[in-house]
Amino acid sequence: MQCEHVRLQLPEYVLGLLAPEASQRVASHLAECPRCASEHRAYMETTAALALAAPPVIPRPQVKEALMARLNQQATSPTSRIRSWFVRLLAPSPRWALAGLALVTLLLFFSNLTLWSRLQRLERAQKTAPFQVVVLQGTERLPQAEGVLLFEPSNHYAVLVVRNLPPPEAGRAYQLWLIRPDGQRVSGAVFSVAPSSPWVTVIVESPEPLDRFPAFGITLEPSGGSPRPTGPKVMGGSADF
Amino acid sequence: MGSPWYNLRRHRRMMPPIPDTQGSAMTPTEDDLHLLQRIQRKDAQALSLLYDRYARLVFSLALRIVGQVELAEDVTQEVFWRVWERADQYHPGRGSVRAWLLYIARNRALDVLRRRRRRPLDAHHLPDEGLPEAVEPDPGPEDRAVQSWERAQVREALARLSEEQRAVLLLAYFEGLSHQQIAQRLNLPLGTVKSRLRAAMQALRRHLVAEAGHPPGPSRRI
C-alpha cells in the first residue's frame, strides 16, 4: 500500500470511518512505515483535541469511589490473594525463586513443543475453513453440556450449536452473552431447548464484529431474555484470537 | 493563585503535543508515561492520580456523546477500568496517553450511543440538545484556567473551519456517523462528505499548529 494513499485515508482512519478491511490495510502499513506512523500520531492528537470542544463537566465523586472500590474488590479476590501469597513465598529466597524459574522454563519448553505441533495442525485446518471456532463447556451446574460457536472473525453473525442442555423450566430460557474485554456482557441470542432433541442450533447476532469478544457465556434467564445476566451460568468458553 | 512554575508543570501535563505538519512528534509527557508504568504494576494510587488528571475530560466527552449523566459516568468508569486492566496495550508511538484515553472514551461512548439509537424510545435522542442538569462545571482553580485556554484554542481552530467542514467533522466525531449517514443527514453527495471530512481534519490540524505558533508542545507555550 502506498504512503500517499494511506495518508489520504488517515483522517477517516482515526475517526473510525473506514471499512474493516481498509482499516486493517492502513494499520498494517502503519506498523511498517515510520513516516506514516508519525502522520498517524499527528492525527490522533488532532482528534483528541476535538474532545476539548465538549462543554466541560466534572463527574460526581461517586464515579471515582466506585472505580476504586472495584479495584479493591479485585485486589482482595481469591485469585489475587493466591498471587500475592506466591510472590511473598518466593520473595525472601531468590535461590528458590531461580530454581523454580528454571523448572517452569523447562516445563514451558516441552509444553511449547506440544502446543507448536497442535498449532501447526490447527493452522492447516483453518486454511481450509477460515472460521473461528469457540468451544463452550458446561459449568459445574451442567457439566454434560457442550457446544461450539462458529463465525467469521470480522462478521456480526455466528452459529451456536449446543447439546446436552436440558429444556429450561417454564418461564425460563437460555441466553448467550458476548463478553467484552472489560467484562461487559452483550446479549447474543435467547433460545430454548426442546425435550425431543439433545441438539440445538441458534443464529447469533452481534452488534459488533465477533472478534471483539474474547469470551462467551450462557445463563438461564426469564423467557424473553434479560438486559444483563441475572441467572446462573451454565456454559462458557473463551476465544483465542 | 498558582506560581508560574506550577502553571508550567500543568501545561506540560495537560497539553500533550500535537506533531507538526512534517510529523516531527514530540514524546508524550513523562508524567503520564510514568503513571502508566505504575498502573501496569497495579499501583492503585497511580490510577487515582491519572483519574484526577483526566476524568473531567473523559467524562465531558462521554456526556457530549451519550447525552445522559449516568451513562457518561459508566463510560468514564469503564475507560479507567480498561486502563487498569490493559495499561500494557498503550504504545507511546501511536500518540500521547491523553489521546489514547480519549480514543477509548470516544469508542466506548459511541458504542453506548449506537445501542441506545437501536431502541425505539431513544430514536429521538440528540446529544446536541444541551447538557443535563445537576452537574456543575468544575470550579477547580488552576485547572480551570489552563483548560479554558486549551478549549479556547480548539474552539478558535474549529471556528476557522468553514461551516460545512465543521458540520461534517462534528457529526463524525461526536455522533459517530458514517459517511453515508452524514450524507443523508446533510443531504449531500457521498463524495462531498468524504472530501469535506478530509479537508476539515487537515485544516483543523493546521489551525491547531498555527494557534500555538510553532510545532505545538506544552513546554513551549509559556
B 8-27 residues with CB below 8 A of A?
16-21, 23-25
Catalogue all structural domains in chain B, each as residue range(s) with its CATH number: 4-220 (1.10.1740.10)
pLDDT of residue B150: 77
Average pLDDT across chain A, whole number: 85
Q: How confident is the model at residue A84 (pLDDT cuts 50, 70, 90)?
A: low
Distance from CA of B167 to the nearest CA of A (A): 13
Chain B CB contacts of A75 under 8 Å are 42, 44
Instruction: Find, among B51, B44, B92, B43, the residue nearest to B73 by Cα.
Output: B51
CB contacts < 8 A (A, B): 184
Using a CB–CB cutoff of 8 Å, tell me whether A20 touches chain B: no
Q: How confident is the model at residue B68 (pLDDT cuts 50, 70, 90)?
A: very high
- Residue from the list B61, B81, B200 with its beta carbon closest to the beta carbon of A67: B81
CB contact under 8 A, B60 and A55: yes
Using a CB–CB cutoff of 8 Å, tell me whether B179 touches chain A: yes
pLDDT average, residue stretch B160-185: 94
What is the predicted ipTM? 0.77
C-alpha cell belonging to residue A49: 483535541
- Residue from the list A45, A60, A67 with its beta carbon closest to the beta carbon of B51: A67
CB contact under 8 A, A38 and B19: yes
pLDDT at A77 over 90: no
Contact A38, B23 (CB under 8 A): yes
Using a CB–CB cutoff of 8 Å, tell me whether A53 touches chain B: yes
When comparing pLDDT for B6 and A163, which is higher? A163
pLDDT average, residue stretch B66-89: 93
Instruction: Find, among B29, B24, B20, B50, the residue nearest to B38 by Cα.
Output: B50
Chain B CB contacts of A66 under 8 Å are 77
Quote the CA–CA distance of B99 and B127 in Å, as a whole number: 22
Using a CB–CB cutoff of 8 Å, tell me whether A44 touches chain B: yes
B 75-134 residues with CB below 8 A of A?
76-78, 80-82, 84-86, 93-96, 98-99, 102-103, 105-107, 110-111, 114-115, 118, 131
Using a CB–CB cutoff of 8 Å, tell me whether A141 touches chain B: no
Using a CB–CB cutoff of 8 Å, tell me whether B195 touches chain A: no
CB contact under 8 A, B81 and A182: yes
- SS3 letters across A67-124: HHHHHHHHHCCHHHHHHHHHHHHHCCCHHHHHHHHHHHHHHHHHHHHHHHHHHHHHHH
Distance from CA of B186 to the nearest CA of A (A): 17
Catalogue all structural domains in chain A, each as residue range(s) with its CATH number: 3-53 (1.10.10), 79-126 (no CATH), 132-238 (2.60.40.200)
Contact A223, A205 (CB under 8 A): no
pLDDT average, residue stretch A107-113: 83
Phi and psi for A167 in degrees, rounded to 5?
-60, 135
CB contact under 8 A, A182 and B82: yes
Contact B201, B169 (CB under 8 A): yes
pTM, entire model: 0.57
Quote the CA–CA distance of B207 and B185 in Å, as a whole number: 27
Q: Scan for cell 469508542, then name that residue.
A: B107
Q: Lowest mean pLDDT: which of A40-54, A67-81, A118-132, A153-167?
A: A118-132
Percent of chain A with pLDDT over 70: 88
Q: How confident is the model at residue B1 (pLDDT cuts 50, 70, 90)?
A: very low
pLDDT at B99 over 50: yes
Helices (H), B15-128: 30-40, 44-66, 69-86, 97-118
Stated as kind and residue range, the H or E segment containing B190 is helix B190-212
Chain B CB contacts of A23 under 8 Å are none
A52 to chain B: closest CA residue = B151
Quote the CA–CA distance of A60 and A72 in Å, as a whole number: 20
